């Protein structure tokens, strides 16, 4: 499984697929993606989808079969789909130590795993893309050059996001002003440079943080493309 490859309750990056899924449930959520990688290219990834700020609304929606013509999954079906995701990831080459947790009291979901090389991150997304019949791989891809110690995330905006968002009633769209995607990438070497104008390098120079609003991503006003170079 070596092609370009990021629902997380169903993953970033399941990330874009997750946002589309969240559109059917709530406008107030946080999606946090954390990558810890060493200078050789191996590491771990953890994605957390937090809907706790809208748990009352989410709880109500989960009791319904449909909302605005969109099928609403039950807790049982969410657990079943997560189980399928885990099995898919466990069979993906270069991916191991797959773990997940679903908290239906606060509506927080986490999915994590270890990867042997950065290509496995792409294979991770490819596996999920196949599982959920979506094109995650077409707009998100990771690369790492150990010789130059350069980590690159390539991102291409998908108009499908805006198309899905347009299905939401106008009165609900303002809720997305409080929805965010946060990406944190940590390294075991100091960072020499990074290219994203909205991202920030930590005080210890070993992490890059990027936090963007869901509306800006949906409308294509911001990008996730970034190139991070480590000091040799």
pLDDT in tens, 40-65: 999 999 988 888 877 777 777 777 77
Who's near 87: CB < 8 A, 6+ residues apart? none
Of 214 and 202, the structure prediction assigns the larger pLDDT to 202
Question: Number of folded domains in the chain?
Answer: 1
Q: Which pLDDT score is estimated for 85?
A: 81
* Cross-strand pairs, 207: 186
In a domain, 8, yes or no: no
170 lies in which domain range? 15-230
Q: What is the dihedral of CA 223, 15, 19, 180, to 10 degrees?
A: -60
Q: Which pLDDT score is estimated for 4?
A: 29
In a domain, 134, yes or no: yes
- Which range is most confident: 107-111, 139-143, 184-188? 184-188
- Summarize the confidence of residues 77-87 as an average pLDDT: 82
Q: Which pLDDT score is estimated for 184?
A: 96
Q: Which pLDDT score is estimated for 11?
A: 35
In a domain, 10, yes or no: no
In a domain, 2, yes or no: no
Phi then psi dihedrals of residue 118, to 5 deg: -65, -30
Residue 206 has pLDDT above 90, yes or no: yes
């Amino acid at each position: 499984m070596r092609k370009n490859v990021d629902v997380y309750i169903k993953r970033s990056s399941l990330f874009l697929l997750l946002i589309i899924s969240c559109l059917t449930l709530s406008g107030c959520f946080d999606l946090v993606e954390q990558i810890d990688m060493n200078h050789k290219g191996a590491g771990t990834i953890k994605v957390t989808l937090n809907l706790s700020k809208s748990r009352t609304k989410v709880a109500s929606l989960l009791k319904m079969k449909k909302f605005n013509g969109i099928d609403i999954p039950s807790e049982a079906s969410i657990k079943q789909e997560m189980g399928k995701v885990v099995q898919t990831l466990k069979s993906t080459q270069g991916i191991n130590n797959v773990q997940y947790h679903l908290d239906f009291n606060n509506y927080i979901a986490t999915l994590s795993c270890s990867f042997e090389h950065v290509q496995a991150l792409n294979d991770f997304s490819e596996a999920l893309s196949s599982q959920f019949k979506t094109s995650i791989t077409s707009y998100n891809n990771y690369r790492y050059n150990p010789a130059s110690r350069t980590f690159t995330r390539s991102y291409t905006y998908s108009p499908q996001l805006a198309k899905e968002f347009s299905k939401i009633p106008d009165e609900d769209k303002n809720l997305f002003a409080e929805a965010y995607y946060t990406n944190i990438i940590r390294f075991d070497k100091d960072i020499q440079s990074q290219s994203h104008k909205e991202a920030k390098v930590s005080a210890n120079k070993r992490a890059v943080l990027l936090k963007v609003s869901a509306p800006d991503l949906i409308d294509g006003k911001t990008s996730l493309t970034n190139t991070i170079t480590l000091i040799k």
